[in-house]
Amino acid sequence: MKKGFEFRLRSLIQLALILSILLSTALITGMVYRSLQQVILGGFDRKLKAVSTVTATFIDARDHERILAPRNIRALAVRPDSSQIIGVDTSFGEINFVEIDRETGGARDLRQASESPVSLAIFPGKRSMHGAVVDSDGSVRLLEIDFETGMKELFRLPEGSRAIAFDGLSQVVYAGGQNGIFRVELDTGDAVLLDGAGSDLDVHEITYSPDSKCLIAFDPGQRILAKIDPESGNILESRTADSYSLTSLSSDPETGGILGTTSDSLVRINPKTLECTHDDLVPGFRNERAALFLQYVAPMRMIKSRCDLTFLYTQTLSDSGEVRYIGSRRERVDNTAVKKIIYVLDAETGSYHSPIGQSRGEIASESIRDVFFKGGIHLTGIERWQHWGLIKSGYAPILREEDGEIIAMAGADVSVEKIEQKNKSALARVVVTCLGALVLALVVSVFASRTLTGPIERLKDASLKIASGDYGVEIEETRLKELNEVSRTFNQMGDTLRDSVEVLEATNREWETDRRSFELIRFLTVRNAEVAGLRTWIEVIASQPPYLCGSGWTNSRQRVVGWIADDAGRSRDENLAFRACVTSVFHQIIRRSEDGSEWEELQKWVKTCLPDALKVLFLIDLDQLTVKVETYSGEPVLWQQDDKAQSAPKITGLKSGEFEIHAGMKYVICSEREFVSLLRTTESTSGETVITNVKGTLSEHESPAIGIAIELRNNLEENGKEGEHDSD
């Protein structure tokens, strides 16, 4: 009693432990995951704050303004031999010759100049350039410019000239201005005014077309871009350039087109149509390959990579995408119109890179406005941006050292994908911990369930054995008190059932003996098929009731077909279905065959549909008194004896072929030779000799379908009708 009570208490403790482990695992998993999320977000906040602060600290405000400031390119020329684009930059209070990058549109300093040409031109094959310089008194000088030797004055151009172009074939200079276009001899300086319609233009920019057939001139006052005949000065074609204010023109031998400059960037002009196109270049001729730009961007890219950030950049604000320099702190606080973002330094190198001065039309968020108007470091939550998606950002102001004014800000971003990646990693660790706890709980639950259900399983097994007829099985007692009582009651029930079954089996054996005798007599009763004065007696003899076998026979007209089936592996219901199917098919075959081809059709159907299902197939022809036989398996034999049983039965092996049958003889086609010894004949009350029984216990024989008996007898009725019967 004590042990039983202790066992039940221990089981309850184990089950309670499993439930507590599962509940505790779920609670701890949720708490740990939430804590890890907070730790991850806190780590990103600290990283963004530190990176934005460091970036804003090491960037000099004056350098940042210089990088952002646009260049003012006022003269342009392209070297025919190298396709180098050279311009004059007057930004930052200095005069510099610069090289303009065709791919990006950025300007790179070449050499400082002592004078500022308003127009440049280059003779093919010469290293030097020529430039037009306007003096303070309005006079215009033509200079020869060499980067190594300096500038040398050649002669003065006609009054009012502002632009020059070279004709490389005739070695003349065309000078355009408010007084028209002049043809100037390079050797003497003699000038001739072209009297054509082009003289009405105030030409500020002029160049020779790439095919040397005409001049291309631009009048900024009328916004007219025109083709001029270099001989007559007449306007060949013109076009209004409303969208562009050109500051210089130059023929481009590399592309066969015309290059121009505006206050913003390079412009390409089609010399045939005079159509202007603005390439997607860095605005303001800002150079991202300049040493000053790379001085800051290179370390920013290294910080971005090592800190695994999505973006690292600097920004300023403007109205409508144009750079605006903010004044005093009071003006910044009150100015609510400043709201567009302008990118300056961007550590990104891929498709998301923002060139210097680019505005993507993004409205500054409240956090960005607070950085500019209130100062301080700001961290944002996860925000959605049109171009960048969901990101979390940290901002720090860039201050001018002289007065502490905020001129820009440094920003560091991390995308939601990186945050989710960290969260997934944390979740994976939590899941591993949870799975470990679940495995532990499973082990405990399995142990407890086996302890509790083991005796019940043994009780179930014993019940199945009793149901199968093993009444002697007994159940051992366990430490479970309740199951012990059930076991004792079950064992008593088994003993009672065993006694009852023994009495019932004895009674059944007696009843079965009587029933078999009756069944055999009934199934051995003669069944008639009356044909042409003869009566066919045919019956299935089996070791079990014939209606449980797959063997059978059927007849139509003067034909009887019979078969002995291989019943191995089939149940009673399957045998019944098999015999019904075969009976139906064979009956139809012999019924519809009027030309005597039923035997071939029967064999063909059996070979196709029942290749392994039959042992013997035979066909009785009552017209010819012959039997056609086809054997498939086993060792079938033919048992035959005369009607009066006056001689011993004749037993021969049965092979495929044909034999005759005679009236007054009994034939039994047997599936196995061993069965012949069990057959015997006896005389009926009418004086006929019939096969009434078999010797031995048929149920112990291996073959369930033994054979088919056949006999031809004289017809006792004068006017018999042809009958059709089958074994069903």
Q: Is 136 helix (H, G, I), strand (E, B) or coil?
A: coil
Integer Cα distance of 372 and 326 in angstroms: 9
Asked whether the predicted pLDDT for residue 504 surpasses 60, the reply is yes
Q: Are the C-beta atoms of residues 723 and 530 closer than 8 Å to each other? A: yes
CA distances in angstroms from 684 to 664, 687, 688, listed in the order given: 15, 5, 5
Nearest by Cα to 274 from 249, 254, 309: 249
Mean pLDDT computed over 355-374: 75
Tens of pLDDT, residues 132-173: 888 888 889 988 888 788 888 888 898 888 898 988 677 788
Q: Are the C-beta atoms of residues 703 and 711 closer than 8 Å to each other? A: no
Residue 595, both tokens: 């030309």
**Nearest 5°: phi and psi at 497?**
-65, -40
Give the ranges where 59-132 is alpha helix by DSSP (H).
61-68
Q: What is the dihedral of CA 461, 465, 467, 469, to 10 degrees?
A: 180
Q: Are the C-beta atoms of residues 173 and 163 closer than 8 Å to each other? A: no
Nearest by Cα to 615 from 698, 696, 672, 667: 672
Q: What is the dihedral of CA 562, 592, 599, 615, to 10 degrees?
A: -30
Tens of pLDDT, residues 572-621: 778 778 888 888 888 888 887 767 788 988 888 888 888 888 889 998 88
Strand arrangement of the beta sheet that strand 559-565 belongs to:
552-556, 559-565, 614-621, 626-631, 657-660
Mean pLDDT computed over 343-350: 86
Q: Are the C-beta atoms of residues 120 and 84 closer than 8 Å to each other? A: no
* Residue 678 neighbours by CB distance under 10 Å: 18
What single-letter amino acid sits at 361?
Answer: G
Mean model confidence pLDDT for the chain: 76
Nearest by Cα to 97 from 293, 107, 63, 81: 107
Q: Are the C-beta atoms of residues 89 and 73 closer than 8 Å to each other? A: yes
Mean pLDDT computed over 201-224: 87
Q: Is 353 helix (H, G, I), strand (E, B) or coil?
A: coil
Asked whether the predicted pLDDT for residue 108 surpasses 80, the reply is yes
Residue 465, both tokens: 């054995």
Q: What helix, strand, coil percent values describe the chain, rounded to 5?
A: 35, 30, 35
Q: Are the C-beta atoms of residues 590 and 559 closer than 8 Å to each other? A: yes
Tens of pLDDT, residues 40-77: 777 778 888 888 888 988 899 888 888 888 888 888 88
Q: Which residues, in sequence order, are bridge partners of residue 617?
A: 563, 630
Integer Cα distance of 535 and 663 in angstroms: 9
Classify strands 257-261 and 248-252 as parallel, antiparallel or unpaired.
Answer: antiparallel
Q: What is the pLDDT of residue 532?
A: 39
Tens of pLDDT, residues 75-102: 888 887 778 888 888 877 788 888 888 7
* Residue 374 neighbours by CB distance under 10 Å: 13
Integer Cα distance of 495 and 299 in angstroms: 94
Q: Are the C-beta atoms of residues 541 and 524 closer than 8 Å to each other? A: yes
Report DSSP letters for 144-192, one per residue: EEETTTEEEEEEEEPTTEEEEEEETTTTEEEEEETTEEEEEETTT--EE
Owner of token pair 């078969």:
563
Tens of pLDDT, residues 306-323: 888 888 889 888 754 444
Residue with the larger pLDDT of the pair 450 and 381 = 381
Mean pLDDT computed over 443-452: 67
CA distances in angstroms from 445 to 10, 22, 459, listed in the order given: 13, 11, 21
Q: What is the pLDDT of residue 566?
A: 82
Integer Cα distance of 249 and 126 in angstroms: 19
* Residue 61 neighbours by CB distance under 10 Å: 20
Output the pTM of the full model. 0.50
DSSP state letter for 699: G
Q: Are the C-beta atoms of residues 179 and 160 closer than 8 Å to each other? A: yes
| Least confident segment among 10-14, 323-327, 418-422 | 323-327
In SS3 terms, 525-593 reads as CCCEEEECCEEEEEEEEECCCHHHCCCEEEEECCEEEEEEECCCCCCHHHHHHHHHHHHHHHHHHHHHC
* Residue 26 neighbours by CB distance under 10 Å: 13
Asked whether the predicted pLDDT for residue 693 surpasses 50, the reply is no
| Least confident segment among 240-244, 262-266, 634-638 | 240-244
Q: What is the dihedral of CA 586, 592, 596, 599, to 10 degrees?
A: -20
Q: What is the pLDDT of residue 302?
A: 92
List, in order, residues 6 or more apart from 687 with CB less than 8 Å away: none
Integer Cα distance of 686 and 422 in angstroms: 104
Q: Is 283 helix (H, G, I), strand (E, B) or coil?
A: helix
* Residue 143 neighbours by CB distance under 10 Å: 19
Could you give all domains of the chain from N- to C-terminal order, each with its CATH number? 53-67+288-420 (3.30.450.20), 71-285 (2.130.10.10), 524-714 (3.60.40)
Q: What is the pLDDT of residue 378?
A: 83
CA 277 to chain centre: 43
Mean pLDDT computed over 466-476: 72
Element (H, E) at 98: strand 96-100
Q: Are the C-beta atoms of residues 477 and 44 closer than 8 Å to each other? A: no
Q: What is the pLDDT of residue 299?
A: 92
Confidence class for position 682, pLDDT limits 50, 70, 90:
low
Integer Cα distance of 578 and 574 in angstroms: 6
Q: Is 16 helix (H, G, I), strand (E, B) or coil?
A: helix
Asked whether the predicted pLDDT for residue 331 surpasses 80, the reply is no
Integer Cα distance of 496 and 464 in angstroms: 16
What single-letter amino acid sits at 122?
Answer: I
Q: Are the C-beta atoms of residues 419 and 41 closer than 8 Å to each other? A: yes
Integer Cα distance of 520 and 394 in angstroms: 103
Nearest by Cα to 598 from 559, 562, 624: 559
The percentage of residues in the chain with a pLDDT greater than 70, rounded to a whole number, is 74
Mean pLDDT computed over 650-668: 85
CA distances in angstroms from 288 to 282, 349, 576, listed in the order given: 8, 11, 95
CA 613 to chain centre: 51
